[in-house]
C-alpha cells in the first residue's frame, strides 16, 4: 500500500490515509487501497473494530483529488462517482465490522462523505467539516447529498451543501454529525475506548444490527422486516448461545463471531 498505513493492536485495525502533503485527498489509487484494506479487515475474524484517520496535523481528508478530475467529461464524472460509491463508500457503510472515523482535521467533500459512511464519528476540536463541492461547480458525489440529510436533517444539509461553508467540530456535534468532540491529543484514545467497548460484544449480532439499521435507511418498511429477519438469524448463532449462557452463568461472554 502506497497511500495508506495499516496497523493492528489486539482486535482493533487502524487505517490511516497517508498523503499529508496533499491533505490526504482521495485519488483513485487511495480509494482502491482503502477498498482493499476495508475488505480484508472485514474478512479477518480477529478484527472487531476499525479506526479510520488521516496522517499529519492538518487533515482527515480534504476531499476527492481535484487534480484528477479537473478535465473530466460528463461520462467520466458519472463513472468516478459510481465507482466510488461501489468500491468504497457503500462498502464501508455496509461492512459487518464497525468503523469509527477519528476526524483529526479537515473533513471536506469526499472526506466528510467517507466519515459519514463510517458507523461512528469522533472529531478533534480543531476539525473543520463541510461539503464545498458547489464552490467548484460540482455536487457531492460520494453519497454526501443523501448521508448528510440522513444525519442532520434536510434543512441543515441544504445549508451546508448550498453555502459550501465549513462548520466547526462543536457545531457538527450539536447537529449530530459527530458523536463526540475531544482535544486533539485525546482523539485516538476516545476512539479506542469506543472500539474496545464494541470488541466486548457479539460480532455476529453487531453485523446483523448494522444490516437492519442500513436496510431502514434505504426503505423504512423494509427496515422493520430486515430487523425481524436479522433478529431471528441471531438465534442461530454460536455468539447468541454464548451471550445468553454467559449471562445466566454470571460470567463474561467470550464471543467467537460464529
Ligand atoms: N484535491 C487535491 N489536492 C488537494 C485537495 C484536494 N481536495 N485539498 C488540498 N489539496 C492540496 C493542495 O492543492 C496543496 O497541494 P500543493 O502544495 O501541491 O499545491 C496541498 O494539498 C495543501 O493545500 P493548501 O495549500 O490549499 O492548504 P491550505 O491550508 O491553504 O487550505 C484547505 C486547506 C482549505 C483544505 C484547501 O486545501 C481546500 O480548500 N482544499 C479543497 C477542499 C475541497 O474543495 N474538497 C472537495 C473536493 S471535491 C469532492 O470531494 C468531490 C466529491 O464529492 C466526489
CATH homologous superfamily of 4-199 equals 2-enoyl-CoA Hydratase; Chain A, domain 1 (3.90.226.10)
Name the residue with the closest Cα to ligand 1, atom 47. Answer: 63
Q: Is 23 in the pocket of ligand 1 (CB under 6 A)?
A: yes
Alpha carbon distances (Å) from 16 to 87, 144, 191, 233: 18, 21, 14, 34
> Which numbered atom of ligand 1 lies nearest the CA of 131?
46
CA of 236 to the centre of ligand 1 (A): 49
Burial, 57: exposed, middle or buried (Cβ in 10 Å; 0-12, 13-18, 19+)? exposed
110 lines ligand 1 (CB under 6 A): yes
| Ligand 1 pocket, residue 106 CB under 6 Å | yes
Residue nearest to ligand 1 atom 37, measured at CA: 62
- Residue limits of CATH 3.90.226.10 in the chain: 4-199
Ligand 1 nearest-atom number relative to CA 113: 53
Q: For residues 7 and 217, give the distance between their C-alpha atoms in angstroms, rounded to a whole number.
A: 32
Burial class of residue 14 (count of CB atoms within 10 Å of its CB; 0-12, 13-18, 19+):
buried
| Nearest C-alpha neighbor of 178 from the set 110, 119, 106, 131 | 119
- The pTM assigned to this predicted structure is 0.95
Cα–Cα distance for residue pair 134/131, rounded to 1 Å: 8
Q: Do you know the residue count of the chain?
A: 258
242 is catalytic: no
Over its length of 258 residues, how does the chain's per-residue pLDDT go in tens digits? Answer: 999 999 999 999 999 999 999 999 999 999 999 999 999 999 999 999 999 999 998 999 999 999 999 999 999 999 999 999 999 999 999 999 999 999 999 999 999 999 999 999 999 999 999 999 999 999 999 999 999 999 999 999 999 999 999 999 999 999 999 999 999 999 999 999 999 999 999 999 999 999 999 999 988 888 889 899 999 999 999 999 999 999 999 999 999 999
Active site residue 36: no
Q: Which three cell numbers stand for residue 125?
A: 476540536
Written in H, E and C, the secondary structure of 101-142 is EEECCEEECHHHHHHHHCCEEEEECCCEEECHHHHHCCCCCC
Taking the centre of ligand 1 as the mean of its atom positions, its distance from the CA of residue 65, in whole angstroms, is: 8
Q: Cα separation of 215 and 146, whole Å?
A: 14
Amino acid at each position: 500500500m502506497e497511500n495508506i498505513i495499516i496497523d493492528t493492536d489486539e482486535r482493533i485495525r487502524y487505517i490511516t490515509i497517508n498523503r499529508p502533503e496533499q491533505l490526504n485527498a482521495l485519488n483513485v489509487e487511495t480509494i482502491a487501497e482503502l477498498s482493499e484494506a476495508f475488505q480484508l479487515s472485514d474478512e479477518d475474524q480477529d478484527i472487531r473494530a476499525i479506526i479510520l484517520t488521516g496522517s499529519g496535523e492538518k487533515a482527515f481528508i480534504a476531499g476527492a483529488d481535484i487534480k484528477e478530475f479537473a478535465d473530466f467529461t460528463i461520462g467520466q464524472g458519472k463513472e468516478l462517482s459510481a465507482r466510488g460509491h461501489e468500491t468504497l463508500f457503500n462498502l464501508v457503510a455496509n461492512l459487518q465490522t464497525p468503523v469509527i472515523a477519528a476526524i483529526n482535521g479537515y473533513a471536506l467533500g469526499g472526506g466528510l462523505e467517507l466519515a459519514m459512511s463510517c458507523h461512528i464519528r469522533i472529531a478533534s476540536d480543531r476539525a473543520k467539516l463541510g461539503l464545498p463541492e458547489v464552490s467548484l461547480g460540482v455536487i457531492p458525489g460520494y453519497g454526501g447529498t443523501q448521508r448528510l440529510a440522513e444525519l442532520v436533517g434536510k434543512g441543515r444539509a441544504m445549508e451546508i451543501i448550498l453555502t459550501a461553508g465549513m462548520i466547526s467540530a462543536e457545531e457538527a456535534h450539536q447537529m449530530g454529525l459527530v458523536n463526540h468532540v475531544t482535544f486533539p491529543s485525546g482523539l485516538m484514545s476516545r476512539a479506542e475506548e469506543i472500539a474496545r467497548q464494541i470488541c466486548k460484544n457479539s460480532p455476529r449480532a453487531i453485523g446483523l444490527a448494522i444490516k437492519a439499521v442500513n436496510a431502514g435507511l434505504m426503505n423504512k418498511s423494509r427496515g422493520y422486516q430486515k430487523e425481524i429477519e436479522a433478529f431471528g438469524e441471531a438465534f442461530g448463532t454460536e455468539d447468541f448461545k454464548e451471550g445468553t449462557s454467559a449471562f445466566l452463568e454470571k460470567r463474561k461472554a467470550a464471543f467467537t463471531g460464529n
